[in-house]
Amino acid sequence: MKYHNLIASSIGNILEWYDFALFTYCGTLFSDLVFPTHNHTTALIALFSVFALGFVCRPLGAIFFGHLGDRIGRSTALRWSVILISIPTFLMSLLPTYHQVGIISPILLVIIRLIQGMCIGGEYSGTIIYLAETAPTKNKAFFTSFAATGANAGLFVGVGMTAILEHVLTKAQLHDFGWRIAFFIGGLLGLLIFYLRRFLIETPGFIALVRAKKTAKIPLFTACKEDLLIMAKIIAIVSFGATLFYITFTYLAFYLSQFSHFTFKEVTYFQTIFIGGMFLLVPLSGLLCDTIGKKKMYYFLCGIGLFSSVIVFYFFRNGGEFSILAGISLLTIISSMEQATTLITVAELVPIKVRYTSLAIAYNIGNMMFGGFTPLFLTSLIHISHNDYMPAFYLMITASLTLIVIIFSI
């Protein structure tokens, strides 16, 4: 596998997850600037609702980019996806506040998130497919794991950018213009990635499909006709990983700032360190998966998820600094193993003919259901039930679902 193709394909996920990190870690800032409410919980629920809306449009983007990827080529779809993601990222830097334009501000935020969701719909899944189809047979999990490594790089840069802005700017400056700088830089990053992707070669599997004249005329119809059961399995398989990831790196900062002595800023710093650690953990987990097999990896990581979730959230709720950091460390390790294992698992489940369409739709629906709605769902559930352990119970449910499907699918 040529290293230029490895870097150019996986680097696109940096922009997607850089923007995701900015939106997540500027959450309290957005809730104050965009939503007209003095109740912090209500503002967060409104923010998480907008966050979830971005995921609703991802399956639509998956259909569009899936059609490109299965008809014209994987590399073409990846080039178009990154340039289209750049547009709403630029627009975020121009978003007026509620104080400036009133109700138009949250409306514009919703529109931008919907556009962004559609554009993102084919990026991550397209990278998974590209890497899986160009990776050496003996190291497929390792090379495919670089899709997640690119995403983690985006998270690291996004969280790091937030930390830098908070350090060099005053709170007033951050509210006035600081957050706009971060999104503007993201748009410029997208243009750079587009340039690098101009030189991507097509995957051998797709070239063989074209030469054999076996490409689907309408990939969506073929996917719905032939791959519905496979797509349902993929949704179930990604449920645990999506829940775990979005709890650990999206919801947990809000949770700990409310239920522990840590501030939101302190949790953000800790998460930056752990995300940095995932650069090493995810590829190593890919190597381990190639060595012992996908099924054993799932037995191990789902087992830990089932038996440790309540203990970890007990530490989050009642433990000291060491206990909380140990809990975040454990969730980070499990998430790293899950990412490396799931990417190659879902890529190999889908036949090559409409792989882009089927995988993109299923992967995005799974992440919408179990990732995008998780912060909103858990915030509302804890508010209604007054039970702080709801995140732990939710992790146990999704770990069980993933494990059951894996037992009967691979």
Give the C-alpha separation, 42 to 158, whole Å.
25
Q: Which backbone phi and psi does 236 adopt, to 5 degrees?
A: -70, -40
Element (H, E) at 170: none
Range with top average pLDDT, 18-22, 107-111, 239-243? 239-243
pLDDT band at 227 (very low <50, low <70, confident <90, very high): very high
CB 337 within 8 A of CB 278: no
What is the tens place of the pLDDT at every residue in 228-257? 999 999 999 999 999 999 898 888 888 888
Q: What is the pLDDT of residue 41?
A: 67
Q: What is the pLDDT of residue 270?
A: 76
Rounded average pLDDT over 60-81: 95
Residue-number span of the structural domain to which 22 is assigned: 3-409
Rounded average pLDDT over 23-35: 70
- Extract the tokens encoding 366: 């799974």
The answer on pLDDT for 124 being more than 70 is: yes
Q: What is the pLDDT of residue 240?
A: 97
Mean pLDDT rounded to a whole number for the chain: 89
Rounded average pLDDT over 278-288: 94
In the chain, pLDDT over 90 holds for what percent of residues? 49
Distances, alpha carbon 95 to alpha carbons 28, 52, 108, 109, 251, in Å: 16, 19, 7, 7, 24
Q: What is the pLDDT of residue 384?
A: 92
Q: What is the pLDDT of residue 367?
A: 92
DSSP codes of every residue in 230-245: HHHHHHHHHHHHHHHH
Q: What is the pLDDT of residue 121?
A: 87
Rounded average pLDDT over 19-44: 71
What is the tens place of the pLDDT at every residue in 149-177? 999 898 888 888 887 888 888 888 888 88
pLDDT band at 27 (very low <50, low <70, confident <90, very high): low
Q: What is the pLDDT of residue 336?
A: 95
Beta strand ranges found along 181-280 (DSSP E) = none
Give the C-alpha separation, 63 to 70, whole Å.
10
Choose between 368 and 51: higher pLDDT: 368
What is the tens place of the pLDDT at every residue in 371-405? 888 888 898 899 899 898 999 999 999 999 999 99
What is the tens place of the pLDDT at every residue in 323-332? 888 898 999 9
Q: What is the pLDDT of residue 293?
A: 96
Choose between 262 and 87: higher pLDDT: 87
What is the domain count for the chain?
Answer: 1
Q: What is the pLDDT of residue 409?
A: 86
CA-nearest of 161, 262, 281, 230 to 405 is 230
CATH code, domain with 63: 1.20.1250.20
The answer on pLDDT for 204 being more than 70 is: yes
Which residues, in sequence order, are CB contacts of 282 under 8 Å at separation 6+?
145, 148, 149, 152, 336, 339, 340
Q: What is the pLDDT of residue 28?
A: 63
Q: What is the pLDDT of residue 103?
A: 84
pLDDT band at 2 (very low <50, low <70, confident <90, very high): low
- Extract the tokens encoding 282: 């995810």
Place of tokens 């059609």: 67
The answer on pLDDT for 1 being more than 70 is: no
Rounded average pLDDT over 347-362: 96
